[in-house]
Amino acid sequence: MPGSGSPSKGLDDVVIDDSSISLVEGDRGWLVYRGFDIAEVVRAARFEEVVYLLSFGELPGAPSLRRLEEALASRRALSPELERVEASLPVTLPPLDALRTLVSAMGSDAPGYPPTFEDGLSLVAGCPTLLARFVRRSRGLAPVPPRSELRHVENFLWMLNGEVPDPRRARALERYFLLLADHGMNASTLALRVAISTQADLVSAAVAALATLKGPAHGGAPFRVSDMLDSVASPQNARPWIADALARGQRLYGFGHRAYRVEDPRAVLLREIAQDVADPPRFALALAVEGAALAALRERKPHVPLYTNVEFYAAVVLEAVGLPRELFTPAFALARTAGWTAHALEQASSNRLIRPDVRYVGPERGRRWPEPVP
C-alpha cells in the first residue's frame, strides 16, 4: 500500500539512483571525482578541467580544454536584458538571494529540456559575472568586464575587485572551488535532480539548488564560522566559549556531517590551504577552536561521530582570499555549478520522475464538510 511504510526521515542511506560522478565514502573519508581522489584533484587540476571531467568522465585533451575555455569566455558577458534585471535589484539584498534571482532571470533565453553541456557552461560562466556585478553595484562601483586571458577563478576575483589577483590567493580560491565542485547526493544536488526529473530546464533546476544551498545545515555555515572565530577572539578563550555555546544548546558550525563517520577529506585539505594563506594568528585561533570543539563534542556526544566538516576551514580560506562573509555561500554556489551541470546531464540521460511518498498520519477518511454558511 503506498505511503504505509516506515518513513526514512532525512532519507539517510536511501539510494535513489546510480551515479558515476562522485563517490563519497563516509566511513573511510574518501571523496572521489570520476575515479580521481580529491587530494589528487586539488593538487594539480584547473577548475575548467574539473567542469569537463565531472560531466564527461575524462579529462579534456588540450584542444577540448581550449574550446571549453573559449566557450566559457564567450558566455561571461551578460545580455542587456540581464543587465537591466541586475540594475533593478535592491542593493540591500543578500548576495546569495541576488544570485538566485539573477540566475532565475537567465531563464528567458535558455533552452528547455533535456539540458546540454552548453547550458551548463552558461551557468558556470554566467554566475560569477552576475555575482561580481551585483556586489560591485552594492559597493557603489562600476562593473568590471571579464578578461578572456584570465582563468575562471581569477576572472571572478578580477570582476569582483577590479585587480588581477595575487597568484597565491587565486590558486587558494581555485583549490576551494575544486574541493566544492561536487559531493554525491547532497541536498542542493538532490533538489536540482528532482527539478530535472520533471523535465524542467537547467536554469530552473539551478534555482532550486541555489535555494537549497542557503540554509546553515548545507551551504549557509561558513560565514557563521567566521562570526564564531571573531566571537571567541583568542585561543585561550576557545574552551570556555565552546563549553558555554554547547551548554546553551547551540550547534557548532563547521562540525558534523550526514555522510562522514570520520574526518571530511575536504577539511583536511582546506586546513593545509588555510595554513598556507591565512594570517598566522587567525589560523592559530582556528586551530584552537577546532581542538576545543572536537574535544567538547567527543565528551558530550561520545556515540555520535562528529568531526570538522568542509565549512570550518573553508571560512578561514575564504577570509584569507579576501572575500567578505556575505560571499562565502555564493562562492560555494559558483564552485558547485560544475557538479550541478554534471548531475543535470546524468539525470536527464536516464530520467525517471523523482517522486517519493509520505506516510499519511492525518485524520481518517470520512469527515463531513459542514453545510455552507448561508
Residue number of the CB closest to ligand ACO reads 256
Q: Could you tell me the maximum CA-CA distance found in the chain, to the nearest angstrom?
A: 77
Catalytic residue among 257, 319, 343, 346, which? 257
Contact status, residue 204 vs residue 214, Cβ threshold 8 Å: no
Whether residue 257 lies in the annotated active site? yes
Whether residue 311 lies in the annotated active site? yes
What residues make contact with ligand ACO under the rule CB under 6 A? Answer: 10, 216-219, 221, 251-258, 301, 304, 306, 309-311
Secondary structure of the chain in HEC code, one letter for each residue? CCCCCCCCHHHCCCCCCCCCCEEEECCCCEEEECCEEHHHHHHHCCHHHHHHHHHHCCCCCHHHHHHHHHHHHHCCCCCHHHHHHHHHCCCCCCHHHHHHHHHHHHHHHCCCCCCCHHHHHHHHHHHHHHHHHHHHHHCCCCCCCCCCCCCHHHHHHHHHHCCCCCHHHHHHHHHHHHHHCCCCCCHHHHHHHHHHHCCCCHHHHHHHHHHHHCCCCCCCCHHHHHHHHHHHCCHHHHHHHHHHHHHCCCCCCCECCCCCCCCCHHHHHHHHHHHHHCCHHHHHHHHHHHHHHHHHHHHHCCCCCCCECHHHHHHHHHHHHCCCHHHHHHHHHHHHHHHHHHHHHHHHHCCCCCCCCCCCCCCCCCCCCCCCCC
Q: Nearest distance from residue 256's CB to ligand ACO, in Å?
A: 2
Closest to ligand ACO by CB, 114 vs 216, is 216
Q: Nearest distance from residue 372's CB to ligand ACO, in Å?
A: 46
Q: Nearest distance from residue 353's CB to ligand ACO, in Å?
A: 26
Q: Nearest distance from residue 306's CB to ligand ACO, in Å?
A: 6
Q: Nearest distance from residue 293's CB to ligand ACO, in Å?
A: 8
Closest to ligand ACO by CB, 34 vs 257, is 257
Catalytic residue among 174, 290, 311, 319, which? 311
Closest to ligand ACO by CB, 68 vs 245, is 245
Closest to ligand ACO by CB, 141 vs 247, is 247
Closest to ligand ACO by CB, 217 vs 247, is 217
Q: Nearest distance from residue 239's CB to ligand ACO, in Å?
A: 15
Residue with cell 533538489: 191
Closest to ligand ACO by CB, 212 vs 347, is 212
How big is the CA angle at 46 (ends 174 and 187), to the nearest 5 degrees?
65
Please identify every residue annotated as catalytic: 257, 311
